[in-house]
Structure 1
Amino acid sequence: MGKIVVSQNVTLDGVVEDPSGEGGSRHGGWFLQFMGQDWEAWAQLELAEAQGAEALLMGRRTDEYFGTRSATMSGEWLDALNRLPKYVVSATLQQPKWTNATVLAGEVVSEVSKLKQQVQGEIVVYASRPLVHTLMEHDLVDELRLTVFPVALGAGERLFGETSDERPLRLIHTKSVGNGLVHLTYERAREA
């Protein structure tokens, strides 16, 4: 059975919106601004995760973002991602932008539940905030990996929106990434 792993770069106050600044939000661009000297350590962490994944799961906008860049960027991390099968959750998308991608056009919970049965190993979710909300709401996330950036923005879309109930998690690993970032790994707590 597959394991859904949500992997996110996040600020101290949980903001995930517009890390690159390309979205034009007021606080956009925090990813590079607060990366500091930690780029190489962060890149090694991301490469190891990509090499350990069996598939990627994402929403339409994440497919568009990575798909349009994959043709012009290079490197070990992108090469590892390009090789992986990708599953794009979308009710409107006909043709994914990223290579080796399949559209999951049916009801999200059902499609992702089937995917977990079909894929053995880690199914990593990058970005895709609305999808993450749905997966969390329906207890489909098995593990959260958060790389925390040393800034509180005070505004912006956060990783976790309102949920119908508590979602207990258990901290299973912490790691310093370079000198300024922290990587936290949580698993879903089956019993609170």
Structure 2
Amino acid sequence: MRQLIVSEFLTLDGVVEAPGGETSHRHAGWTVPYAADDLFAFKLQETRDADSLLLGRRTFEQFAEAWPPREGEFAEKMNAMPKTVVTARTDDLGWNATRLDVTNGVRAGVAALKEGDGGPILVAGSATLARSLLVWGLVDELRLLVYPVLVGGGARIFPDDRTKWAYELAGLQRFSSDAVLHVYRLARS
């Protein structure tokens, strides 16, 4: 079974919205002051280790616009990696992407994707999708890159459905910019 990894940039108050400067939040770009070589090296390795990306439509559209003109190893991996997109769009997605088969629903489509051949599936951003994957118990590993900033509200990934899911701490890493990576794995009983 393929491992499904959700990787999110997160503020201290749990916000995932507009980490890189998207216009949806008045404090957009809250990760920018904390950029550091060691953090970049981690994100590069995380991307190298992933076999494919699973993205929500909005994140896919943002990435498909941002990554193709870029150069360097990170951009080359992002551009070449197969992408599966959760979308109702019927036009050609381009950028090495295919639609998730949602014949039996998104949950069943993601479960089938995990049952397929290949290595780890990385979900980057995609807050709505990440929230659903958490509710459905489909996240094998949750990587929260927590930045030392509060932005007073915005989109979050954590569900509010009162379902309990137990995770085990699998790793902690502090970066030179004071961002801290928390890695959790779903506890299997």
TM-score normalised by length of structure 2: 0.92
- Aligned-partner residue type, residue 42 of structure 2: L
Q: Which amino acid aligns with 2:12?
A: L
List structure 1 segments (4+ residues) > 3 angstroms apart after TM superposition: none
- The structure where strand makes up a greater share of residues is 1
Q: Identity of counterpart residues, as a percentage?
A: 37
- Give, as a single letter, the amino acid of the residue that structure 1 aligns with 2:175: V
SS at match of 2:3: strand
Q: Is the 8 A contact 1:27 1:156 kept in 2?
A: no
After superposition, residues 65-76 of structure 1 pair within 5 angstroms as 65-76=62-73
What is the distance in 2 between the residues matched to 1:77 and 1:171?
27
Q: Which residue of 2 aligns with 1:144?
A: 142
Distance 1:119 1:82, change over 3 A: farther
Give the deviation of 1:134 after TM superposition: 1.0
SS at 2:51 equivalent: strand
Q: CA deviation at 1:105?
A: 4.6
Q: Is the 8 A contact 2:36 2:175 kept in 1?
A: no
Once residues 56 and 73 of structure 2 are traced to their aligned partners in structure 1, the CA distance between those partners, rounded to angstroms, is 23
Aligned-partner SS, 1:2: coil
- Once the two structures are superposed, residues 38-78 of structure 1 have per-residue CA deviations (whole angstroms, 9 ceiling, x without a partner) of 42111100110111111110011111001011222122111
Structure 1 residues without counterparts, runs of 5 or longer: none
Matched, 1:95 2:131: no
- How far apart, CA to CA, are the structure 2 residues paired with 1:8 and 1:66? 15
Residue 82 of structure 1: aligned partner:
79
1:11 corresponds in structure 2 to 11
Structure 1 position 153, deviation (Å)? 1.8
How far off is 1:164 after superposition? 4.3
Partner of 2:155: 157
How far 1:168 moved relative to its partner? 1.3
In structure 1, give the amino acid aligned to 2:97.
Answer: A
Residue deviations 1:82-125 (CA, integer Å, cap 9, x gap)? 2211100112353225x211111512111111110113321000
User: What is the match of residue 41 of structure 1?
Assistant: 38
How large is the RMSD of aligned CA atoms in angstroms? 1.5
Shift in Å, 1:179: 3.5
What is the match of residue 109 of structure 1?
107
Aligned residues: 187
Q: Where does the alignment leave 5 or more consecutive residues of structure 2 unmatched? A: none
